[in-house]
Amino acid sequence: MRQRSVFGLMLSLLVFTVHFFTACSREEVDMVKPEIHFDFSGASPIACDTLFFGEVFHFRMNFSDDVELGAFNLDIHHNFDHHSHTTEGIPCPLDPKKPPVNPWVFIQDYPIPSGLKFYEADMEWVLPSGNDAGPYDEGDYHLVVRVTDRSGWSAYKSFAIKILHAR
């Protein structure tokens, strides 16, 4: 009889343990990538826009996610060699290919406040005209925007812009 009660106790413990761990792991798993929106009035910049060194750059885009947003990243780099990772399929007129001499590069991460499913990034700053090496190269650039949600899913949009020196 003692053997049967030990077996029953062990079986009860096993059932309890399995139930405990499966009941606690029923948290929803985020399987949806966040989204980047710049198809609204006032979005800036958009494909083929021209920006100017020495002038105010206004960045305004919206991000959304089904559960919770995490952060976004802004990457601006030269496209003097006409490489492509454009996601928007909008052809912009390109200058002739050229080697970079003093290209401007901007890469910056921005956190999004916790708990948000929608966030509007609205920032502005003056684009620098140059550095210790002289004026920045003007011409064709790419603007790449990435957004990541709290679960680690990410999305990006990339398009061509032109950056010139203000005359």
Judge contact between 150 and 68, C-beta under 8 A: yes
Asked if 165 and 129 count as a contact pair (C-beta separation under 8 A), the reply is yes
Report the predicted TM-score, pTM, of the whole model to 2 decimal places: 0.81
Q: Higher-confidence residue: 115 or 9?
A: 115
Residue 88 in this model has a pLDDT that exceeds 90: no
Find, among 138, 109, 125, 114, the residue nearest to 60 by Cα.
125
Would the pLDDT of 93 be above 70?
yes
Reference 166, options 138, 125, 131, 133; nearest CA is 138
For 19-31, the pLDDT digits (tens) are: 555 555 556 788 8
Task: Please say whether the beta carbons of 106 and 74 come within 8 A.
Answer: yes
Q: Which amino acid is at 71?
A: A
CATH topology (fold) of 35-165: Immunoglobulin-like (2.60.40)
Omega before 96 within 30 of 0, i.e. cis: no
Closest among 36, 33, 88 to 62, alpha carbons compared: 36
Token pair for residue 44? Answer: 């800036």
- Average pLDDT of the residues in 146-156: 97
